[in-house]
Amino acid sequence: MKIDFDINVCGNFNLAANKEWLETNNLGGYASSTIYCLNSRRHHGLFVIPVGSKSEKTIILSKFEESIFIGKQVYELSTNQFTGGIYPDGFQYMVHFSIDPFPKFQFEIGGKKIEKTIFMLHDQHTLVIRYAYKNQGPPLNFVLKPMLAGREISDLSHEVSNINTDSYLESGVVKLAPKDNIPELKIYFQKGEYISAPLWHHNYLYDKDFRRKQNSSDEMTEDLFNPGFFSFTLEPYDTFEMFISLEEQTNLEYESMFRKEKEFRRDYNPELEELPQVAKDISKRIEILTKRGSGTVPLHVSNYPKDDQNTREMLFSLWGLTLLEKDKEQIEKTLLIYVEFLKQNLLPAEITSKKKSNKNQPADINLIFINLLYYLYNHRIDLKFIEENLLESCRNVIDIYSKGTNQLIYQDIDGLIFSGSKTVNTSWFPHGGDQNGDIRYGKICEINALWYNSLKIMEFFSRETGKNRQAKKYADMAELTKKSFQKEFWSTKLLRYYDCINGDLSDETLSISQIFLVALPFSMLDVERGILVLKQIEEYLLTPLGLRSLSPNEKNYKGRLESSRNNHKSDYFVGSIWPWTIGMYIDAVLKLRGNNQQVIDSLNSYLETLGQFFYEQGSGNISEFFEGNPPHRRIGRICYSLNLTELLRSYFTLHKAGTEKTKN
């Protein structure tokens, strides 16, 4: 992956200060900031790791304040925003920023070129930083001050009197343990000296903080603790390395670490060789974000800064992740974890431990799991494994839905699924993001699309395993569901299907739920009606960055949010763009319009906007959401795994369609 911003970007403060970078390992740790290393959000930090069983990551080291002395003149490389303004102004010396494959910062002071490189070791919580003097000139004397936060990413730190201000200096390493509940931080260095000089620095301002409240500056500022400083001198073409870790280090060899990590980041999966370069770069991003063998679910892709995925997101992410996963056993082990929950009853909204939670069981999640098996059967797992380990649990899901659950999920006499109530939400999202507490319940469009799809999949697997009687049972159930759906949901006036039906009330809202009717492998719609639905999706929901959650013509639609930081989860459902839905849109188009070259070329060109964002705005990431109206400001988490996995799957799907067309 190569990201490159020259002086035209780096020299424009308003532009550069809004570009963020993210460096991660495979363990959930990260370093992140703007390209000036100006921390503008509370989750920005230089050494951020998961601690124990806490759900949120902990910022141990916020940043380094960096100063250079040339003769008697001091130059600051740092840039911060305080309540009084920007200070210091090190941004003026920055001439270039790149990621290839690691973040690299280049500064120039009076013709003297300084370069800083940052990377994390993918298999441990260790951050490596190198400062390099790249040309001839007088010696440069550096002073680096570590600024400690010691708090979770959703909190802010403030000066306290009971902090441990001591620095423990040993040969080539400084050990810092300011708080009892924070792991000891070890900073290794190989030249220069460290001097203890504890001091608090106040009022760092995070003006783009997505958690801040209006008219409350206290929610945007924090104090950082500086235990001392490192001092060293660089001669021309000299370097200085720091190794920041939670672990004891004995082999601190920069070049070998650099080569190992560079090779890891550039070792593309051979199966993706014929895909565009952007797809290969996305695949490497996914690999470094993927957790294997840790946590309750052994295989999933992390979000950043906060990895609070729900079960639905984890299931959908597996579609794209399994294109990369070489270890078939990891895939199977992950599926078996989900089956363990299914054996207890149904999948919970969030899987946070192996203990079953009966709270909030959405109606779509179990049906999405059945759909996932059908997809994986064509890609990564065989029929024997499905038959021996998974099918019984899937049959139980169908039986439970048919008989009814304690969460108000049941099959009505007409074959359609009714779910939810005025007080229990079992759907994917609340109706239109209403702020008045209204819950979307009844016979819901996408849940019944998933229900029909699940019945057809169970019919398919039953026939594949020789259980023809069961196959007929599921076929009959599916046919009843299809007939009832066409009768009750179709609106002759709207030329599309209702969003939700509850008794005599038929909700005409045009939302993202319509994509499920045309994108799933088995659809209740014929081609003619499918095309009608697809055209309305394209006219009202489709944007260059994905599908809007709500049509701009709906009364609850919000094309602009109060702030791009996004305070309310319900804002996601009132028109915000969900980039990951591009995968389902491509599935629908190929299904309804065929895989002729014109269609494939059109869809490939459509992906260019998201690919461009990945490089130019996301710096190797894709944000969680975007505002519905242009210029589509980004919202939410800086890195959302489902967007990456579905974009990769989209490239793969189009490549496969083109290959099949050539063969035919």
DSSP class of residue 221 equals: E
Q: Residues 273-292: what's their mean pLDDT?
A: 89
Q: Is the pTM of this model over 0.85?
A: yes
Instruction: Report the candidate in 332, 323, 489, 359 with the shortest Cα–Cα distance to residue 417.
Output: 489
242, 265, 288: which is the final residue of a domain? 265
| Residue 537 banded pLDDT, cuts 50, 70, 90 | very high
From 651, 642, 35, select the one nearest 286 (Cα to Cα): 642
What are the CA-CA distances from residue 395 to residues 372, 391, 474 (Å)?
A: 15, 6, 10
The neighbour count for residue 392, using CB atoms within 10 Å, is 12
312 and 231 co-located in one domain: no
| pLDDT tens sequence across 1-17 | 789 999 999 999 999 99
**Do 126 and 104 lie in a common domain?**
yes
Same domain, 653 and 586: yes
Residue showing tokens 């800064």: 305
Give backbone dihedrals phi and psi of 410, rounded to 5 degrees, phi first: -155, 155
Q: What angle do CA 243, 247, 252 make, to 5 degrees?
A: 40
The answer on 113 and 252 residing in a single domain is yes
Residues 246 and 160 in one domain: yes
Given this model, what pLDDT does residue 308 score? Answer: 77
- The reported pLDDT for the residue numbered 353 is 53
Phi, psi for residue 519 in degrees, rounded to 5? -105, -25
426 shares its domain with 466:
yes
Q: Among 514, 542, 525, 532, which Cα is nearest to 485's?
A: 525
Give the tokens for residue 93: 């010396």
What was the pLDDT predicted at 380? 82
Residue 664: pLDDT over 90: no
The average pLDDT across 216-243 equals 90
Q: What is the pLDDT of residue 187?
A: 97
Note whether 634 and 623 are same-domain residues. Answer: yes
Q: Where are the alpha helices (DSSP H) in 404-514?
A: 445-464, 468-489
Q: Tell me the pLDDT tens digit for each residue of 552-608.
A: 999 889 898 865 444 456 678 889 999 999 999 999 999 999 888 999 999 999 899
Q: How far apart are CA 412 and CA 149, in angstroms?
A: 55
d(CA 395, CA 470): 10
- pLDDT category at 196 given cuts 50, 70, 90 is very high
Q: For residue 187, what is the DSSP state?
A: E
Same domain assignment for residues 249 and 338: no
* Number of domains composing the chain: 2
Beta bridge partners of 245: 126, 186
Give the per-residue pLDDT at 217.
46
Instruction: For residue 639, give the 3-state DSSP assignment.
Output: strand
Residues 200, 327 within the same domain: no
The mean of the pLDDT values for the chain is: 89
- pLDDT of 413 > 50? The answer is yes
Q: pLDDT (tens digit, 9 = 90+) per residue, 151-176?
A: 999 899 999 888 999 999 999 999 99
Last residue of a domain, which of 210, 239, 265? 265
| Same-domain pairing of 597 and 545 | yes
- The answer to whether 375 touches 366, Cβ cutoff 8 Å, is no
User: What is the rounded average pLDDT of the residues 268-288?
Assistant: 88
Tell me, what's the pLDDT at 562? Answer: 67
Residues 49 and 65 occupy one common structural domain: yes
What is the domain extent for residue 619? 268-663
- CB burial class (10 A; 0-12, 13-18, 19+) of residue 570? middle
Q: How far apart are the first and last CA of the chain?
A: 34
Dihedral sign computed on CA atoms, order 567, 570, 575, 580: positive
* Mean pLDDT (whole number) for 427-448: 76
Name the more confident of 504 and 229. 229
Same-domain check for residues 222 and 309: no
Mean pLDDT over residues 235-260, rounded?
A: 94
Angle between helices 445-464 and 391-403 (to 10 degrees): 140
Nearest to 561 by CA among 502, 474, 628: 628
Q: What is the pLDDT of residue 270?
A: 79
Local structure of 375: helix, strand or coil: helix
Domain harbouring 195, CATH code: 2.70.98
Query: Tokens 């570009």, residue?
Result: 19
pLDDT at 210 over 90: no
Q: 103-155: per-residue pLDDT in tens?
A: 999 999 999 999 999 999 999 999 999 999 999 999 999 999 999 999 999 89
| Spatial CB neighbours of 59, under 8 Å, sequence gap ≥ 6 | 43, 45, 47, 48, 149, 150, 151, 152, 153
Q: For residues 460 and 71, what is the distance between their CA atoms, to the nearest angstrom?
A: 78
Residue 119's nearest CA partner among 279, 245, 292, 228 is: 245
Give the pLDDT confidence score for residue 19 in this predicted structure: 93
Is pLDDT above 50 for 69?
A: yes
Last residue of a domain, one of 246, 265, 284: 265
Per-residue pLDDT, averaged over 336-357, amounts to 75
* CATH number for the domain harbouring residue 320: 1.50.10.10
The pair of three-digit structure tokens given for residue 114, joined into one six-digit string: 């300084």
Span 525-530, average pLDDT: 95
Phi-psi region of 347 (alpha: psi -120 to 50; beta: other; left: phi over 0): beta
CB 549 within 8 A of CB 576: yes
